[in-house]
Amino acid sequence: MIRNTLLTLALGMSLGVQAQKNVEAAFRSPFDFPLLLSANFGELRPNHFHNGLDIKTQGVTGKPIHSIADGYVSRIMVLHGGYGQAIFVTHPNGYTSVYGHVVSFAPKVQEYVRAYQYEHETFVCDLHPEPGQLPVKAGDVIALSGNEGASAGPHLHLELRRNDNGDYVDPMPFFRQYLKDTKAPVGSLVGIYPLAGKGVVNGSSTKKLVGVGALNQRFTAWGQIYTGISAKDYMDGTSNFYGVHSVTLYVDSVKVFNSTTDEVSADENRMINGFTDYDELMRTRRLIMRSYKLPGNRLRLLETGPDRGLVTIDEERDYHFCYVLEDNFGNKRKYKFTVRGKKQEIPPYTPKANKMLYWDKTNVIQEPGMELVVPKGMVYDNTELRTRVIGDSSDISFDYVLDIGRNPLHSFCNLSIGVRHLPVADTTKYYVVQKAGRWSASVGGKYQNGWVKAKVRTLGTFAVAVDTVAPRITPLGQGSWRTTRNIRFKITDGQTGIQSYKVYVDGNFVLFGLKKGILVIQDPGRIKKGVPHKLEVVVTDNCGNETRKQYKF
């Protein structure tokens, strides 16, 4: 018998569907050309779901972007990474539309942003105009498409967010009429997972991964197991692949699991690491959606019964599994396989680590000169933690190994490491470094009463380091600055990273943006052509080390 007290998994119970039914909304296309997508909502990404639609812009930047409905500009962001440049338009129908990676804003918006950037001498900003300050009508050009921030090619990242709670909502139902999709999702492999100490598959406590072309073989299992599937969706007119909108698992014709990606909150985004097989992702980059809800995973789009998607194999018979994959356009594909119940010994689970992190309580891990606090909910299941202290008394600090294997943390946790020696008197120069072989990276931190305290979102090997080396500035194409005004610099910092930068020409601040490690002038028109100028660049790293360079051109 399958010991799953099963839910009524009606689509009407989906939070995302409720949100879209409760608010009547109609949106026009953001472009005047046919739409093709390079990514859809809910597509699986490392550490997050894709929270919008990526719309192709015919391989170029500078395409006019139209507001999809009446509203007002409620937020403008200019960042080094992420969206790059983004504009938010709040609509009276209950939604806010977000347009990311744009190369520039409409003139009135651009003036508003530039005024703030020059007044505060900063490129990065997050602005919130008053509701009546920058009104827009449906169809108004609000920006030009670009490739700014964390973007791998020209496109528009379009989001819809609920005004009442800020959740990301799938825009696809509102733009279905502009797209064509007759292709069903396609699976690539299925995973069968025994629960540690409570189940076995093919006589083993390890997972079994099988290509969908080999599902006609029979598998044996005993005890508690769950399954997972790797799959992609496709659309007409493009070779891109997408996330699968809905995954449903039936066992003996009874629904035991469903995931329908209609709505995700910002806090839920990283819970994707509890939904997917994180170990497999870290080892092979393959994304497998598990049909099992880990006890500490609060991701709402995962719907199961009280057994959280576990299937109990306790009869010597065939158990019939069936996956149904469905996209936003009703295209479906099924994958069936059989697991035969075969009574066999289940090895007990014995932790191999010296410590444990528990998902349902705050964990305080201490070693001499180190404390790590992992609050309740920071791991999705009870997780083994191996700790070790390495080094000698001559080091600034010991090295602390905090190893949870290929398991994720949900958010930042407080790490404190004691400083054994102060080779540099200035305590602002100390930070926490994470190490892995020859690789190392700063996780920041501040010195306080003999400790350096930082926040970490991954575990590994940590120590205290000192940064007294200022950033490096390298001018690019200096010989043509006077004639082209295309002033650029490469700026780098080998330890704690760039915190801030400013450029002054003839004593006046001139706006530069840091784009993929290069400082690029944003307003060359502010510099008079053909006459001599004096320029000063000031770059500071995250430990306060500063470099100033002067140039004449």
pLDDT of 241 > 80? The answer is yes
pLDDT at 25: 74
Cα(101)–Cα(348) distance, integer angstroms: 51
pLDDT at 525: 92
Cα(279)–Cα(286) distance, integer angstroms: 9
Sign of dihedral through CA atoms 295, 274, 462, 150? negative
**Structure confidence at residue 441 as a pLDDT band (50, 70, 90):** very high
Cα(51)–Cα(45) distance, integer angstroms: 10
pLDDT of 10 > 90? The answer is no
Is the distance from CB of 205 to CB of 196 less than 8 angstroms? Answer: yes
172: enclosing H helix or E strand: helix 172-175
Neighbouring C-beta atoms of residue 393, cutoff 10 Å: 7
Cα(28)–Cα(141) distance, integer angstroms: 12
Cα(455)–Cα(254) distance, integer angstroms: 44
Mean pLDDT along residues 511-524: 94
Is the distance from CB of 264 to CB of 164 less than 8 angstroms? Answer: no
pLDDT of 2 > 90? The answer is no
Sign of dihedral through CA atoms 19, 20, 26, 32? positive
- For residues 162 and 531, the model is more confident at 162
Is the distance from CB of 180 to CB of 330 less than 8 angstroms? Answer: no
| Residue with tokens 């990242």, as numbered in its chain | 157
Residue 289 DSSP class: E
pLDDT at 19: 42
pLDDT of 8 > 70? The answer is no
pLDDT in tens, 33-89: 999 999 999 999 989 999 999 999 999 999 999 999 999 999 999 999 999 999 999
pLDDT of 477 > 60? The answer is yes
pLDDT in tens, 281-302: 999 999 999 999 999 999 999 9
The three-point CA angle 102-106-111 to 5° equals 105
Is the distance from CB of 537 to CB of 549 less than 8 angstroms? Answer: yes
Mean pLDDT along residues 228-253: 97
Cα(311)–Cα(291) distance, integer angstroms: 10
pLDDT at 530: 82
Specify the CATH class of 26-178 in words. Answer: mainly beta
- Give the right CATH number for 355-466 from 2.70.98.60, 3.40.50.2000, 3.40.50.1820, 2.60.220.30: 2.60.220.30
pLDDT at 392: 85
Cα(503)–Cα(539) distance, integer angstroms: 9
Cα(457)–Cα(461) distance, integer angstroms: 13
Is the distance from CB of 430 to CB of 447 less than 8 angstroms? Answer: yes
Burial of 284 by CB count in 10 Å (0-12 exposed, 13-18 middle, 19+ buried)? Answer: exposed
pLDDT of 12 > 50? The answer is no
The two three-digit tokens of residue 269, written as one number: 């985004």
Mean pLDDT along residues 456-461: 98
**Structure confidence at residue 5 as a pLDDT band (50, 70, 90):** very low
Report the DSSP beta bridge partners of residue 370.
367, 417
Is the distance from CB of 418 to CB of 450 less than 8 angstroms? Answer: yes
Sign of dihedral through CA atoms 58, 59, 63, 67? positive
Residue 342 DSSP class: -
pLDDT of 20 > 50? The answer is no
pLDDT at 375: 98
Cα(451)–Cα(415) distance, integer angstroms: 10
Is the distance from CB of 207 to CB of 225 less than 8 angstroms? Answer: no
pLDDT of 438 > 50? The answer is yes
Instruction: State pTM to two decimals.
Output: 0.91
Cα(153)–Cα(59) distance, integer angstroms: 8
**176-185 CB burial, b ≥16 within 10 A, e <16:** eeebebeebb
pLDDT in tens, 106-141: 999 999 999 999 999 999 999 999 998 999 999 999
Mean pLDDT along residues 512-528: 93
CATH number assigned to the domain covering 186-341 = 2.70.50
Distances (CA, A) of 9 to 62, 66, 265: 45, 38, 21
Cα(540)–Cα(547) distance, integer angstroms: 6
**Structure confidence at residue 24 as a pLDDT band (50, 70, 90):** low
Residues making up the chain, counted from first to last: 553
Q: Which of 231, 175, 188, 186 is nearest to 37 (CA)?
A: 175
Q: Percent of the chain beyond pLDDT 70?
A: 96
pLDDT at 15: 36
Mean pLDDT along residues 245-261: 98
Q: Which of 466, 446, 452, 445 is nearest to 371 (CA)?
A: 452
Across the chain, mean pLDDT equals 94
**Residue intervals in the chain for CATH 2.70.50:** 186-341
Is the distance from CB of 432 to CB of 454 less than 8 angstroms? Answer: yes
**Residue intervals in the chain for CATH 2.70.70.10:** 26-178
**Residue intervals in the chain for CATH 2.60.220.30:** 355-466
pLDDT of 18 > 90? The answer is no
CATH number assigned to the domain covering 472-552 = 2.60.40.10
Q: Kind of pairing, strands 95-100 and 85-90?
A: antiparallel
pLDDT in tens, 359-417: 999 999 999 999 999 999 999 999 999 999 999 888 999 999 999 999 999 999 999 99
pLDDT of 170 > 80? The answer is yes
